Structure 1
Amino acid sequence: MASEIFDKASNMGRTATLDEASALLRKIAGNREADETIKAVFRRLQRQLTGWSPGRIRDIWYRDGRVHVRAEEFEQLRSLAATRSDSGAQDELTELRNRIARLERLLETADEAFHGPTLAALRDQWREMG
């Protein structure tokens, strides 16, 4: 009876860690391109994860219950996921700035006399804000 309880608790803990590892792996992989296969995603992940076999990546991705995630693997996943989060925020900011610049150019070419003074005032305010 006591061993059954211990086995259930052990499986619950293993499942939670496997779920977390799989979620981190998916976060590192990011969004899949429209023409990209899951096999290509696994190859891309293997280039980022040192010492990981394709089968290991696949088993953790699909949360195979027979897999035990090691502490050093968790550390590697967490550090790569944190790096991905930081660069993702920076990429979003850069993308937003590029989009604003493109829209400003479109407004200027549409009617420079009408939009020019407004855009100049907005740019001045933006510079003052830093």
Structure 2
Amino acid sequence: MRSEKSDKTSEVRQMGRQTTVSEASLLLREIAGTRAAGESIKGVLNRLHRKLVDWSPGRVRDVWYADARVRLRAEEVEQLRALAKPRDAGTDDELTELRTRIARLERLLEAASAPLDREGAARNGLGRREMG
């Protein structure tokens, strides 16, 4: 005979477990990123399995689909959070790196085009005074 208290405790545990599995599923999807054109879900799950070496392919699939029967350990959730975090930080680093490269290329273009303008003017018969 079960009491009301144990039923409520069981419900709370089930809800907490489901929340953790849902979070893990969202983290997996974040880690996977966008699918390449023509890439199947099976391909995405295989790619995730290569990143999560300690996980079985079935476990990756069950967490991906947020199967209510899955029980996650705290270390597994932390592992997913750690893998998902660098992607956000990496985007900022990539953007900064891209801006730096563009600025460097603009300086190189300015430096390279300045002498060409003088040489082009000389070939066209324009003197320094006429260039302006």
TM over 0.5: yes
Q: Which runs of 5+ in 1 are unaligned?
A: 105-111, 113-130
> Does 1:80 pair with 2:80?
no
Residue 34 of structure 1 aligns with an amino acid whose one-letter code is A
Structure 1 residues 77 and 7: CA distance shift in structure 2, 3 A: same
Alignment correspondent of 1:115: none
Matched, 1:41 2:49: no
State the percentage of identical aligned residues: 46
Specify the alignment match of 2:25 in structure 1. Answer: 22
The separation in 1 between residues aligned to 2:56 and 2:78, in whole angstroms, is 17
Counterparts of 1:40 and 1:91, CA distance in 2: 26
Partner of residue 118, structure 2: none
Q: CA deviation at 1:89?
A: 2.5
RMSD: 2.4
Q: Unaligned 5+ residue runs, structure 2?
A: 107-112, 114-132
Question: Looking at CA atoms only, which structure, 1 or 2, has the larger radius of gyration?
Answer: 2
Q: Secondary structure at the match of 1:87?
A: helix
TM-score (norm 2): 0.69
